[in-house]
Amino acid sequence: MHPIRLISFGYLHLPTGPDGSPVPPVADRIEDVRDRLRDPAAAQDILDLDGFHPRVQDVVLNTPGARELLANLANYADLRAGPRRIAIGCAGGRHRATGLTELLAHELRARGRQVDVEHLHVHLRRVLKTPTGAPATTPEKEATR
């Protein structure tokens, strides 16, 4: 079977298209988990962590619906004429998308698959939405300008 590439990203960091909507990475399947999985960043004890951290992965995996989504993505990746690229996006790309992507990579490797992983936005600071819906930088991001 061919290798599969998994990509995590944050919708708030994507460029926008002519219609103003975010343009996600090119993939055979794009999974938007913003509404499917609650944001683990709301838990203060993991706010400064990212999806590489086992605590964040545990919170993501134990979110209602996450195990089913993970199994669905793994089964989809194993289809005979399966995908070459799966992209998983959340708001900022630091917690849900990265954690779920790492969990999926682990599962696929356990099934004997060759997996390449790319995290587009995990290294970026958190982006908060203002009441108007426009992205606002966090205080630590402001200090780096």
9-67: per-residue pLDDT in tens?
Answer: 999 999 999 999 999 999 999 999 999 998 876 777 888 899 999 999 999 999 999 99
76-86: per-residue pLDDT in tens?
Answer: 999 988 899 99
On the CB side of 66, CA atoms within 13 Å amount to 21
Domain that residue 121 falls in: 4-143
Interior/surface letters 112-130, b for 16+ CB within 10 angstroms, e for the rest: ebebebebbbbeebbbeee
pTM of structure = 0.85
Q: Are strands 127-129 and 135-137 parallel, antiparallel or unpaired?
A: antiparallel
Q: At what angle do helices 96-110 and 66-77 cross, to 10 degrees?
A: 50
Number of domains in the chain: 1
Query: How many angstroms separate the Cα of 134 from the Cα of each of 28, 62, 103, 127?
Result: 29, 30, 31, 10
User: Would the pLDDT of 140 be above 80?
Assistant: no
